[in-house]
C-alpha cells in the first residue's frame, strides 16, 4: 500500500489504480439506468408523507447556485454539497475550466469556512476519484493518525479507572486529536489529478472567510449545543462565541484568522502546515490545551509532537469493488470500513429479490443484512497496516450467501448477532460457522460532510471529510481559525488486544466514511456519500437500495425517510420511517427508537442523455445545495 505526503517540490508517487471492468447486466437485474421520470420534483421531505409534500422543493434549474436548491440538472459539470456558498465556489471553478478535483478542493476549503464544526484543516477524510481519460478509480486515505506515543489507556479517567464520559469529557481533549490529514489530501489530489494551483483554489475560501457568511439556524443551534465546552477553551470562545454567546441567526460570521492560514498555505505550500511554525503550534496546543480557569471539563493533554505532524503521509489504497445487480460499486478501503461494510450489506441483499417484496419486507431484509455486516465490521475492520483485514473475503459472494442464510424472512434475529467466519471456507447449505458477538459500541460523531463533483470531461469525485464530533475536540489552534479533530475517540476506548480497532501509536482509527462511485455498463453513473458517523454506511446503502431496488429516482431516494441498524437491540429511525413502517416491522420483532435526522446525502447521477442530475438534501441539516454549470430543462 503506497504511502505519501511529499513535501514540495518532490513529485508524488504513483497512486494505486484499478482499471474498471464494465459491469455486465445479469438476468433479472435492474437496468443500468433505472427509469427516470423528470416530470415533477415536488418530493416529500424526510419528515413528510407523500400525501403532505414539503413545500418549496420543486426542481430548480441551477441558474442561481448561491441560493440553496436541492436538485439541479444540466451539463458542463455539477457540484452537490451541504452549503450554497461552497457549492457556488465549486461551480465557479468548473465554469472557469477547472476539473472535478480542482472543484472538490475549492468546495472543501469553502466548507471549512461555512461548516467549521464538521470539517476543516484540523481533520481528515477519504477521497475517491474517477479519471475518465484513463478509465481508472484511485483513492486517497487522508485519515487522521495517532501520535506514536499514544498510550493504550488514553481515554481512561485515572480517578475512576473507567473511560471518561464520552461527551463532553472525552471528545474535548488533546488526547482525542489525531494528526490532521485534510491538507495533505488536498495536496496529493491536486498533484495527481488537478489542473489549478492550490493557491488559486484556496483564495475563494479565504475571501469567503474574510467577508463572512450569513449564520443560519443550523449553525446557530450547533454552536448553542456546544456552548459550554467552547467556553472552556479561550481561543474557541473568542472565535465562535463573540460576546460570550452563539452568533444569532442572520448575523455575519467572519474568520480572518482562517483566511490568513489559507493564504499562508497558498504562499508556502503544505510544508507550512506540516513542518513550519504552524506544526509547532498544533503540537503545543494538543500537549497543552488552553483551558479557562474554573472549567469542570478535564481536557486531558495529548501526546502529539512536531515529529508526528512532519511524518504524516496520506495513503493510496486500491478501492473496494463489488457487483450489485449488474452495477459496479466502488468505494474506500480500510481503515474506512465503509466500502466493505456497505458492500457486504448489498451482497447479502443481492441474495433476495427486494423489488418483488412489499416495502416492509424489503426493509426488514435491509435491517437484518446491516446487522450482519456490522457484526463483521466489529470483528475484522481496522487499520490494515496494523491488523489483517480480510476485505476480499468480506466482499465475496460466497461469504455473502452464507451470511444471508442467517436472515429469517419473517422474524428479526436477537441482537447482537455473531460475526461470520471470513476464512474462505463457506457452506452453501446454510450451515456455516459463526464467531462471537462483539459488544463494541460505536461512538463516531455525526458531524462530517460529503461532497460530490463531476466535470465536463467525465471525471468524478466522491469526497467525505470530517473533524468527527460536532466541533471536533472543541480546541481551536490560537490565531489560526480552525478546530482540531477528536478523531482518536473512534478507537475502541478500552484496550483489548483482540480488537482490530484497539489503540496503538501511529495507527489510524476505523472510520465509517463511505464515499462511493457506482458504475453502470462500465461508465460512472452515481457519486454518493454522507456524513453521520456509523450511520454513514446505512445511509449510503439505503440510498442505493432506494434507487436500484425500490424504483425511486435520485431525488426521492435521497429524501426518503431513513433508519439504521448497526447490530444493536434497537433500530434507530427518523419519525417518518417509524410512522410508515414501524407497526409492520414491530410485527417482525424489530424495536424502533426515533431520532430527528439521519445522514446528509450529497449525490450526482449521470443521466443517459449525458446530463448530470445533482441532488442534495431537501431539509436535513437545513437543506443542501446542488448546482450545475449549464442548467437545462427537459
The reply, when asked if residue 490 is annotated as ligand binding, is yes
Q: Give me Rg for the CA atoms of the chain.
A: 23
Closest by CA to 590, choosing from 363, 374, 373, 437, is 363
- Predicted confidence at residue 174, as pLDDT, reads 98
The reply, when asked if residue 263 is annotated as ligand binding, is no
- pTM of the complete model: 0.90
**Cα 414 to Cα 84: distance, rounded to the nearest angstrom:** 44
Can you state the angle between helices 575-587 and 359-380, rounded to 10 degrees?
90
Q: Which residues contact 553 (CB under 8 A, 6 or more apart)?
A: 34, 35, 36, 37, 547
Q: What are phi and psi of 630, to 5 degrees?
A: -120, 95
Whether 595 sits among the annotated catalytic residues: the reply is no
Q: E strands, 143-222, where?
A: 213-214
**Cα 377 to Cα 500: distance, rounded to the nearest angstrom:** 10
CB 487, CB 144: distance < 8 Å: yes
Burial state string for 444-461 with b = 16 or more CB within 10 A and e = fewer than 16: bbbbbbbbbbbbbebbbb
C-alpha grid cell, residue 527: 457519486
CA dihedral (35, 36, 39, 45) positive or negative? positive
- Predicted confidence at residue 427, as pLDDT, reads 84
Q: How many other C-beta atoms are found inside a 10 Å radius of the C-beta of residue 401? A: 18
C-alpha grid cell, residue 258: 482562517
Domains and CATH numbers, the chain: 3-26+44-316+461-495+505-631 (3.60.20.40)
- Predicted confidence at residue 486, as pLDDT, reads 98
How do beta strands 570-573 and 591-594 pair? parallel
- Predicted confidence at residue 65, as pLDDT, reads 38
List average pLDDT for each run of 10 residues in the chain, which is 634 residues long: 38 36 30 34 32 31 55 98 98 99 99 98 99 99 99 96 95 98 99 98 99 97 97 98 97 98 97 96 99 95 98 98 98 98 98 96 98 98 98 98 97 98 87 58 68 99 97 98 98 96 98 98 98 95 97 97 97 98 98 96 98 97 96 79
CB 465, CB 449: distance < 8 Å: yes
The reply, when asked if residue 315 is annotated as ligand binding, is no
What is the DSSP secondary-structure string of 539-555?
Answer: HHHHHHHHHHTS---HH
Helix (H, G, I), strand (E, B) or coil at 628: strand
From the candidates 223, 261, 316, 448, which is the catalytic residue?
448
Compute the CA torsion angle 283, 285, 286, 292 (nearest 10 deg). Answer: 170
C-alpha grid cell, residue 514: 463511505
CB 488, CB 508: distance < 8 Å: no
Judging by beta carbons within 10 Å of its beta carbon (0-12, 13-18, 19+), is residue 79 exposed, middle or buried? buried
**Cα 479 to Cα 381: distance, rounded to the nearest angstrom:** 38
Closest by CA to 357, choosing from 549, 546, 544, 547, is 549
C-alpha grid cell, residue 570: 434497537
Q: How many other C-beta atoms are found inside a 10 Å radius of the C-beta of residue 293? A: 6
Please state whether the peptide bond connecting residue 600 to the residue before it is cis, i.e. omega within 30 degrees of 0: no
Question: Any idea what DSSP says for residue 12?
Answer: P
Closest by CA to 47, choosing from 597, 617, 580, 576, is 576
Amino acid at each position: 500500500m503506497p504511502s505519501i505526503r511529499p513535501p514540495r517540490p518532490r513529485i508524488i508517487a504513483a497512486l494505486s489504480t484499478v482499471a474498471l471492468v464494465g459491469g455486465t447486466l445479469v438476468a433479472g437485474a435492474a437496468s443500468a439506468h433505472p427509469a427516470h421520470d423528470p416530470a415533477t420534483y415536488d418530493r416529500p421531505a424526510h419528515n413528510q408523507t407523500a400525501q403532505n409534500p414539503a413545500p418549496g422543493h420543486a426542481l430548480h434549474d441551477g441558474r442561481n447556485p448561491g441560493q440553496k436548491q436541492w436538485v439541479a440538472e444540466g451539463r458542463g459539470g455539477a457540484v452537490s454539497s451541504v452549503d450554497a456558498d461552497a457549492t457556488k465556489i465549486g461551480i465557479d471553478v468548473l465554469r472557469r475550466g477547472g476539473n472535478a478535483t480542482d472543484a472538490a478542493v475549492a468546495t472543501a476549503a469553502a466548507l471549512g469556512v461555512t461548516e467549521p464544526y464538521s470539517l476543516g484543516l484540523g481533520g481528515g477524510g477519504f477521497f475517491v476519484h474517477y479519471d475518465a481519460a484513463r478509465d481508472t478509480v484511485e483513492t486517497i486515505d487522508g485519515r487522521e493518525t495517532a501520535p506514536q506515543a499514544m498510550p493504550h489507556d488514553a481515554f481512561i479517567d485515572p480517578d475512576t479507572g473507567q473511560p471518561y464520559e464520552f461527551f463532553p469529557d472525552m471528545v474535548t481533549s488533546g488526547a482525542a486529536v489525531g494528526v490532521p490529514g485534510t491538507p495533505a489530501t488536498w495536496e496529493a489530489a491536486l498533484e495527481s489529478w488537478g489542473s489549478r494551483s492550490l493557491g488559486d483554489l484556496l483564495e475563494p475560501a479565504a475571501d469567503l472567510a474574510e467577508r463572512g457568511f450569513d449564520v443560519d439556524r443550523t449553525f446557530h443551534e450547533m454552536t448553542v449545543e456546544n456552548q459550554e465546552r467552547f467556553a472552556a477553551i479561550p481561543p474557541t470562545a473568542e472565535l465562535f462565541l463573540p460576546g460570550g454567546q452563539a452568533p444569532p441567526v442572520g448575523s455575519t460570521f467572519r474568520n480572518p484568522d482562517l483566511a490568513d492560514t489559507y493564504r499562508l498555505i497558498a504562499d508556502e505550500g503544505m510544508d507550512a502546515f506540516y513542518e513550519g511554525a504552524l506544526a509547532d503550534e498544533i503540537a503545543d496546543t494538543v500537549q497543552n490545551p488552553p483551558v479557562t480557569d474554573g472549567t469542570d471539563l478535564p481536557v486531558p493533554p495529548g501526546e502529539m509532537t512536531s515529529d508526528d505532524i512532519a511524518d504524516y503521509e496520506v495513503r493510496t489504497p486500491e478501492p473496494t469493488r463489488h457487483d450489485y445487480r449488474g452495477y459496479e460499486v466502488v468505494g474506500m478501503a480500510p481503515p474506512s470500513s465503509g466500502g466493505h461494510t456497505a458492500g457486504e450489506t448489498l451482497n447479502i441483499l443481492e441474495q433476495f429479490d427486494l423489488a418483488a417484496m412489499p416495502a416492509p419486507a424489503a426493509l426488514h431484509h435491509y435491517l437484518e443484512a446491516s446487522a450482519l455486516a456490522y457484526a463483521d465490521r466489529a470483528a475484522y475492520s481496522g487499520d490494515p497496516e496494523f491488523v489483517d483485514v480480510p476485505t476480499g473475503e468480506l466482499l465475496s459472494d460466497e461469504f455473502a450467501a452464507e451470511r444471508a442464510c442467517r436472515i429469517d424472512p419473517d422474524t428479526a434475529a436477537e441482537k447482537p448477532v455473531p460475526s461470520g467466519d471470513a476464512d474462505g471456507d463457506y457452506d452453501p447449505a446454510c450451515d456455516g460457522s459463526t464467531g462471537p458477538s462483539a459488544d463494541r459500541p460505536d461512538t463516531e460523531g455525526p458531524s462530517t460532510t460529503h461532497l460530490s463533483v463531476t466535470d465536463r470531461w467525465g471525471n468524478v469525485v466522491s469526497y467525505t471529510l470530517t473533524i468527527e464530533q460536532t466541533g471536533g475536540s472543541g480546541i481551536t489552534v490560537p490565531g489560526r481559525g480552525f478546530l482540531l479533530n477528536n478523531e482518536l475517540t473512534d478507537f475502541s476506548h478500552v484496550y483489548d488486544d483482540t480488537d482490530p480497532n484497539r489503540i496503538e501509536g501511529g495507527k489510524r482509527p476505523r472510520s465509517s466514511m463511505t464515499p462511493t462511485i457506482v458504475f453502470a455498463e462500465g461508465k460512472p453513473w452515481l457519486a454518493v456519500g454522507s456524513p453521520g458517523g456509523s450511520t454513514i454506511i446505512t445511509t449510503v446503502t439505503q440510498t442505493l437500495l432506494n434507487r436500484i431496488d425500490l424504483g425511486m429516482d435520485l431525488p426521492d431516494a435521497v429524501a426518503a425517510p431513513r433508519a439504521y441498524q448497526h447490530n444493536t437491540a434497537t433500530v434507530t429511525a427518523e419519525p417518518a420511517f417509524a410512522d410508515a413502517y414501524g407497526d409492520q416491522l414491530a410485527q417482525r420483532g424489530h424495536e424502533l427508537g426515533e431520532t430527528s435526522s439521519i445522514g446528509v446525502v450529497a449525490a450526482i447521477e449521470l443521466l443517459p442523455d449525458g446530463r448530470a442530475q445533482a441532488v442534495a438534501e431537501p431539509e436535513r441539516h437545513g437543506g443542501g445545495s446542488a448546482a450545475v454549470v449549464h442548467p437545462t430543462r427537459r
